[in-house]
A = this chain, B = another copy of it.
Amino acid sequence: MKIGELAKCSGLSTYTIRYYERIGLLPVAERDAGGQRDYDPSILIWTEFLGRLKTTGMPIRDMLRYARLREQGAQTGLERRALLEAHRDMVRDKLDTLQASLLVLDIKIDSYVDTEQRTHHDETTP
């Protein structure tokens, strides 16, 4: 699997894939006879996991910590788990504040709806 195909499958751009390799988020890729990157499809498991860390808001530097631990093998399991648990707690917090803000947003929107039903608005709120 060449870089273009990995790009399609993973949703990352080829630029990003090379960038991730440069900084150590992706393992240094094997090369084919012509010197081009040649990926084992199992890389997709890793890119998908990275994507999940990313959508949950983990900064690259933390993914990097995880990636380095992973490369050091099984004895880093405890540390990786701790990293993930800390991250999970962060995600839960984010989820809570997001939920709270959603409620406020709904109330705000309702107030606009109300305002349109009466036909004037006092503008004392944002």
Contact = CB atoms under 8 A, between A and B. Distances in A.
A70 B108 CA distance: 14
A98 B28 CA distance: 30
Interface of A: 45-46, 49, 52, 55-56, 70, 73-74, 77-78, 80-81, 84-85, 87-88, 91-92, 94-95, 97-99, 101-102, 104-106, 108-109, 112-113, 115-116, 120-121, 123, 125-126
Contacts of A46: 126
Contacts of A70: 126
Give the secondary structure class of A's interface.
helix
B91 A55 contact: no
A15 B103 CA distance: 30
A56 B105 contact: yes
B45 A77 contact: no
